[in-house]
Amino acid sequence: MADAAVRAERRMGGFSSLPQALRYAATAFPEQGFSYFDGQGQLSARMGYGELWRRACAVAVWMRTGIAAQRGTRIGLLAQTGPDFIVHFCACQLLGWVPCPLPLPASLQGASRYQQALANLQAAAGIELLIGPRQLLASLQTGLSGLAGLDYEATAHLGGDEATCAAAWRAGGTPEPSDVAYVQFSSGSTAQPKGIAIAHRALMANVDDILRHGLRVVPQDRAFSWLPYYHDMGLVGLLLAPICGQVSVDYLAPSSFVRRPHVWLALMERQGSTITYAPGFAYALAARRLPPGAPVPRLHALRIAGVGGDQVHAAQLQEFGRALAPHGFDRNAFKPSYGLAEATLAVTMCDAPFDRLQRHFAIGDDGAVREVDAAEPAARALVSCGKALPGWTVTVVDAQGRPLPPLRVGGIVVKGEAQMSGLLEHGRLEAVDRSRGIETGDLGFRAADGEWFVVGRGADLVIVRGRNLWPLDLERVAAQVLGADTDDLMLLQKEGPGAELVLLVQEKAAARVQGAEHHGHLVAALVAACGAAVQPCVVANGTIERTSSGKKARGPTRARFLGGRIAHRPIFPS
């Protein structure tokens, strides 16, 4: 009886490695686990932690027997939403192999571009074996010649028993805290990507922060996610952390969310979801795409609606709140966060109530910040990312690396136990100096009350006649005039400070321009917003490139435009 009570004790982290956490979840809460839904909202598969453990052990024993690979071998896993991915991810952990989650083909990407992207990732990390769905692997054989492949279907029949699990546990051994647990590719990885090596020590430290301090997980929690497994928020936040907290999670594939975003909300109502996470655009899109005349989902159980993966904008959250709050959704559930793959995942999380998430600041060209009234002409609306989690120290530095005081914009540097241990490039793992922290590439500041605010990416900053401009601010102005989505617009600067600004408008947004007068309103609004002329031009749909997490890939798109590789025309011929 005492033994049963011990087995049923819920643990929120505190494990030394993922195999240890999974073994505990399988023993104490074997029926908790993962459920998978299709685009129609129908249950397509379910796997409890007990079954996950047995299958992972069986696959580990099978692969150790049939595949000649040493500890530390890097394995590419195509991140299909379903049980197969996590089974093989955990099997790799048991063998001491290093799983490297890889993206699936994106819409409009094309087969050749996808194969090239995978080849670049494989070369960066030195991947020696590719595991994925049979049909996709077959289509990749010509593009990735020389790389061994194993399809998920080859191990689908395997199911371990206690003896198999014991053998897998003995053979795997206990990983050292400094051993690499997995490789995460940065969301900005493009032509010459780098793999981010995350050690067991870093993973477990960040998971503990997330479970205990960020989300404050309780035994009654049930999570929901449509995020891809190759992205840090989907992998760590809503796959690995739940294992370490014995939390059940329901999943929808990213492609299903894109086609029918309202299914996300309907399933959360049905499943009684208490935790979800998504980029801000997803909340606005789901609210916009609610079926007319259908009952609005009642999300009264949702206590955490996490927001991350990109800079958070209050308008997106407000749109969701307007649509869902009258039907039971608590807007105070919104939890803006800040993190990055180099930091495993989470660095800050916000606990502020909804009416304090957005604040207004005037930011001088010298970086000085004043909190102001929303009506002030220089006011810029920013959403708080909260305060640093216990495992992190966050500082803002100037161009020389010197710390800046509160209310000064500078480069954000984070330092903590969960930071990456090295970078993989050209197949080699290069250690990083952890004492220096991580230069994130983001610009931001700390408010007087200790809340952190991100202003934008340092590389995105546009300077016109000494004035600092943020492309997203101008894209929002243009989107409002056009009644279009900011995802279809991209502002870029031709060359250097003071050079001409160009606004790329994808065809579906350009179609909203209604004659010369409307075009004039667009140009006037942009001039008023930035004090400089902006040339709007039409480009084909799909021209604006994306990172693996769906953000605009501004650098690559700008390089293609400046290199004359993007066909364009005036948005309204003169």
**Residue at a domain's end among 416, 437, 457:** 457
What pLDDT, on the 0 to 100 scale, is given for residue 168? 84
**418 and 494 belong to one structural domain:** no
Asked if the structure places residue 324 within a domain, the reply is no
What pLDDT, on the 0 to 100 scale, is given for residue 162? 84
Q: Please choose, from the candidates 436, 201, 252, 223, the residue with its C-alpha nearest in 3D space to the C-alpha of residue 335.
A: 223
**447 and 471 belong to one structural domain:** no
**Residue at a domain's end among 419, 437, 457:** 457
Asked if the structure places residue 300 within a domain, the reply is no
**420 and 494 belong to one structural domain:** no
Judge whether 425 and 194 are in contact, CB under 8 Å.
yes
**416 and 513 belong to one structural domain:** no
The total number of structural domains in the chain stands at: 3
CA distances (Å), origin 411, targets 366, 438, 453: 13, 10, 12
Asked if the structure places residue 506 within a domain, the reply is yes
Domain span including residue 491: 462-570
Asked if the structure places residue 430 within a domain, the reply is yes
**404 and 489 belong to one structural domain:** no
What pLDDT, on the 0 to 100 scale, is given for residue 286? 96
**445 and 467 belong to one structural domain:** no
225-271: per-residue pLDDT in tens?
Answer: 999 999 999 999 999 999 999 999 999 999 999 999 999 999 999 99
Buried (b) or exposed (e) across 146-185, using 16+ Cβ within 10 A?
ebebbbbeebeebebeeebbebbbeebeebebebbbbbbb
**475 and 497 belong to one structural domain:** yes
What pLDDT, on the 0 to 100 scale, is given for residue 2? 37
Asked if the structure places residue 331 within a domain, the reply is no
For the chain, which residues score pLDDT lower than 50? Answer: 1-6, 189-190
The model carries a pTM of 0.86
Question: Residue type for 74, please?
Answer: R
CB burial class (10 A; 0-12, 13-18, 19+) of residue 24? buried
What pLDDT, on the 0 to 100 scale, is given for residue 550? 66
Asked if the structure places residue 351 within a domain, the reply is no
**Dihedral angle, C-alpha 467, 407, 351, 257, nearest 10 °:** 20
What pLDDT, on the 0 to 100 scale, is given for residue 164? 86
**444 and 485 belong to one structural domain:** no
Q: Write the CATH number for 493.
A: 3.30.300.30
**407 and 392 belong to one structural domain:** yes
**480 and 411 belong to one structural domain:** no
What pLDDT, on the 0 to 100 scale, is given for residue 189? 43
**Residue at a domain's end among 244, 259, 274:** 259
Calpha distance 345→546 (Å, rounded): 20
**473 and 363 belong to one structural domain:** no
Q: Please choose, from the candidates 269, 322, 330, the residue with its C-alpha nearest in 3D space to the C-alpha of residue 305.
A: 330
Residue 55 has which token pair? 């299958």
Asked if the structure places residue 489 within a domain, the reply is yes
Asked if the structure places residue 228 within a domain, the reply is yes
Calpha distance 425→373 (Å, rounded): 47
Q: Write the CATH number for 178.
A: 3.40.50.12780
What pLDDT, on the 0 to 100 scale, is given for residue 5? 37
